[in-house]
Structure 1
Amino acid sequence: MGVEMAVLLALLVGCVQEQESAKGKVMVSGPISDDSTGPKIESTITLPPPVNGEVRKAPAGERVASGSGVTVERVRVTDPVTVRQAGGRSSETRSLLRLRITGNFVLRAERMEVRVGGISVGYGVESTDRRSVSVAVGDEELVRDGARVAYAYGAGPTVEVGTLRMER
């Protein structure tokens, strides 16, 4: 068991180091496809690790929405981020949404994919105490009344978290 854990830790450290070397601050969201002939997958492309990390560590922001076990806050980022959405629209912003799911999470080899309204918004990152998972959301149109938040590890079962209610 000790060797397996060492191998897993080495793989995780390698992935983090590789991700931290990513440059650029552009988030693309909307339907994507591997090629122009393939089926479209409703998904968003996750933010580069430096931006995602900044959003995760940002101080508490304005609460935008909440639900059972989930909150969404608007947080500020240091440098402008260009958000490109389906249809070619793009805009520059200094604030993004941080979605936080609370619970008791276990470290796993597979990444946790977080979905809002059935659409992937990115991979959640566990807090150091494993009591919450956060992900930056660039497509604000996904965060709306009645949107259901869920997550899954790899190809595992989907776990329903809660339904969002916009703050008034």
Structure 2
Amino acid sequence: MCSCNSDQPPKTQIGIWHERHRFHHKLSLALALLLGWTVVGCSDGRPQRVVVSGQVLIDDKPLAGGNIKFVPDGARPSMGTIDEEGHYKLTCFEVGDGAIPGKHRVEIVSNEILSQTAVRWCAPKKYASFLTSGLEVEISEPTDSLEIHLTWDGGKPFMEMVNMGSGKL
């Protein structure tokens, strides 16, 4: 539509320049806000975590299976599964997100349920609770090589007779 037939005065070069300048200013501001939201706004509102993985060794050999748990004071624990080569990767809130930085007590449970009355322990029972394991680690930065060393201290895997209940009420 021609501006000659409009009730509004024709735009001057300066008016057009101001309009473009305002548009570019608004676009720049919107991009800056979007970038700021992307960098800062990605927080999930949960405590900071760092990726942690490594290997569990028992008497310098990989522990072939089990579960590992890192328990910090006053914060959410992180857990992982120990594979056939002793490797683990910790999860706190989401798969593989690691552990909250700080001091952690560690527990490792490695056993096989053979029947309703028999369990074979693949690591000493003392490691099955962070209260008795004696294992502590400090997490301060991401790592993919945190080794946890266990020992039988002269012992060996053993079978324990247990009563897991008959399932009857």
TM-score (ref. length: structure 1): 0.30
Larger Rg: 2
